[in-house]
Amino acid sequence: MDSTSELPVILPRATKVPAPRQTPSLASKHVLVVGINYAPEPTGIAPYTTGMADHLTTRARSVTVLTGMPHYPNWQLDPQYRFRLRTREIGRQTGDEFDGVAGLGPNDGLLIRRLRHYVPSRQSAVRRAGYEFTFMMNCLSAKVEQRPDVVVAVTPSLGGAVAGARIARRAGAQLVVVVQDLMAKAATQSGISGGSGRVAAATAALERYAVRRADRVAVVSDAFRDQLHAYGVPDERIRLLPNWTHIHASGLSGPEARQALGWPQGVFTVVHTGNIGLKQDLGNLVEAARICAEHDAGVRFVIIGDGSQRSAVQDQARGLANLEFVDPLDGVKYPQSLAAADLLVVNERPGVGDMSLPSKLTSYLTAGRAVIAAVAPDGATAQELRRTDGAAHLVAPGDPKALAESVLALRRKPAHCNEMGVLGRVYAEANLGRDAAAARLDALIEECLTP
C-alpha cells in the first residue's frame, strides 16, 4: 500500500512570517492571559499557553495569568493543589522557552493566579458545563492588580474566553482570542455524552459571544475560519497563529532510544502519545493491534499518556500481548519515546473534522518519524498533514482493519518510513519554529495596540 502519494498532494505553501519588529509600546503595557490549562501540565494546550505568557513577559511591562489548578491529562487535581482554593505564583513555570529568552520581562515580570474549579473525573456535557462555569465565575471574581491593556484569552476553556471578553470590556482593553479548539464543534463531534441539541446550541452562543467581541481572533488552523465566519467574525480580524514545536528531537536512533527506555529491540514499534479521551477513539487502535497480532508477531503498539477513557481502553485491550500502556513521560523520556517509534499514530473519532488540531502533531513532525493518521479526510488534521508533502499516511477513521493493513504495509517499507520521517522534520524546521511563532504573536499584539 502506498503512502500519501495515493491522496491529492498539496505542496507546502510558503509561509509569510511577519518580520520581527520592535514593540516599544508593549514595554509599558500590562497583559492578562486567561486559560484553564497551564504548566506544569505536560501536554495538550498548556505548553502553548505557557509559552505565550513566557514570551510576552519578555516584551510587556507585566503579565498576569488567570489559570486553573493542574489537572490534565488525567482529569485529577495535582495532589499539591488539592486543598487550595487560589494561589499566587511568581515567575516562569517551565523550562520550555518560547523564544530562547529566559527570566522575567523588562519591568514587573510574571504573576500566575491559579483558581479552583470543578474537575470532572468522567466526561459528559453537564459535567463539562460545571467545569467551564466554575472557572469562568472564579475568573470574573478574581482581583487583577494591574488593569490590563491587552487580554489574551485561550479556548479551551470556553468559560475562560467568555471571562476574558468580560474583563477586557470592563478594563477597556484590547481582546485577543486564541482558538485552539472550536468548542461548539467539539460538543457534537467528540462523542461527549449529552453534547448535541441544546448543549451544542448554548456552547455555540457562548463561543460566538467571545469571538465576536475580540479585536483579533488567532487560529491554529485555517480550517477554523469558516466557523468563525459563520459566527460573524470578518476575515480581516482573523490571524493564523500556528502552534510551534515545544520539544527538541532526542538525537537518538531508534535502537538507541529503545535501549534508553528499556523497550524491546527488533520489533516494528507503533506509538501513540497524548490524551486518551473520547475524541481520540483509541479503541480503534486497540482493534488494529489485535488484527496485527494475528498476522505479524513483529509489530508492537505503545499508548503513552492518560485521560478520561484510559481505563475503558485498557479493559478493551486486556489480553493483547503486543500492546502496552505507558504513563505520561517527562521532558527527557518523551522525545526518546518518539525517537523509539518506527511509526507515530494520530487517531480521531469518526466525525471529528474541524473542531481541533492535535497538539501532538508538532512533536511528531519534529521527531523525524513516519506518521499514520486515522482521521477524516477533509478535517483540520488531514489538511495540516497534507501540507507536509508526504510525511504522513492517511487512512479512514473508525476502520481498524484499514489501519492495521496500513501499519503492516509500512512495516514492509522501512526505507519509505525513513523518507517520510525526513519530510516531516524538514516541514517542522521550515514552519513550526519558535522564532516564527514569536514573530507572529508580536505582530498580532502590536496590531491591536496600534491606533
Kindly state the average pLDDT of the residues 29-39.
Answer: 96
166, 144 Cβ separation under 8 angstroms: no
101 — pLDDT class (breaks 50, 70, 90): very low
Kindly state the average pLDDT of the residues 180-190.
Answer: 66
Taking the alpha carbons at both ends of the chain, their separation in whole angstroms is 56
- What is the Cα–Cα distance from 355 to 109, expressed in whole angstroms? 34
Higher pLDDT, 392 or 353: 392
26, 446 Cβ separation under 8 angstroms: yes
pLDDT tens for residues 248-260?
Answer: 889 999 999 999 9
In which element (H, E) is residue 309 found? none
Q: What's the one-letter identity of residue 116?
A: R
Average pLDDT, the chain: 86
pLDDT tens for residues 369-408?
Answer: 999 999 999 888 999 999 999 999 999 999 999 999 999 9
For residue 126, what pLDDT is reported?
A: 79
Kindly state the average pLDDT of the residues 1-7.
Answer: 38
426 — pLDDT class (breaks 50, 70, 90): very high
pLDDT tens for residues 150-177?
Answer: 999 999 888 899 999 999 999 999 999 9
254, 231 Cβ separation under 8 angstroms: no
In the chain, the percentage of residues whose pLDDT exceeds 90 is 63
For residue 74, what pLDDT is reported?
A: 85
Does 3 score more than 50 pLDDT? no
Q: Helical H runs in 272-396?
A: 283-295, 310-316, 333-339, 360-367, 380-386
Task: Give the orientation angle of helix 125-141 with respect to helix 158-171, to 10 degrees.
Answer: 20
Task: Enter the pTM of the model.
Answer: 0.77
DSSP letters, 360-382, are HHHHHHHHT-EEEEE--TTSHHH
pLDDT tens for residues 400-417?
Answer: 999 999 999 999 999 999
- What is the Cα–Cα distance from 55 to 23, expressed in whole angstroms? 13
37, 68 Cβ separation under 8 angstroms: yes
- What is the Cα–Cα distance from 245 to 360, expressed in whole angstroms? 9
Does 106 score more than 70 pLDDT? no
What is the pairing mode between strands 268-273 and 343-347? parallel
For residue 5, what pLDDT is reported?
A: 34
Residues 135-174 as b or e (16 or more Cβ within 10 Å = b): bbebbeebebebebbbbbbbbbbbbbbbbbbbbbeebebb
pLDDT tens for residues 49-80?
Answer: 999 999 999 999 999 999 999 999 888 999 99
Q: Which domains does the chain have, with CATH numbers?
A: 23-244+433-449 (3.40.50.2000), 254-431 (3.40.50.2000)
pLDDT tens for residues 203-234?
Answer: 888 889 999 999 999 999 888 898 899 999 99
Q: What is the CA radius of gyration of the chain?
A: 21
For residue 97, what pLDDT is reported?
A: 37
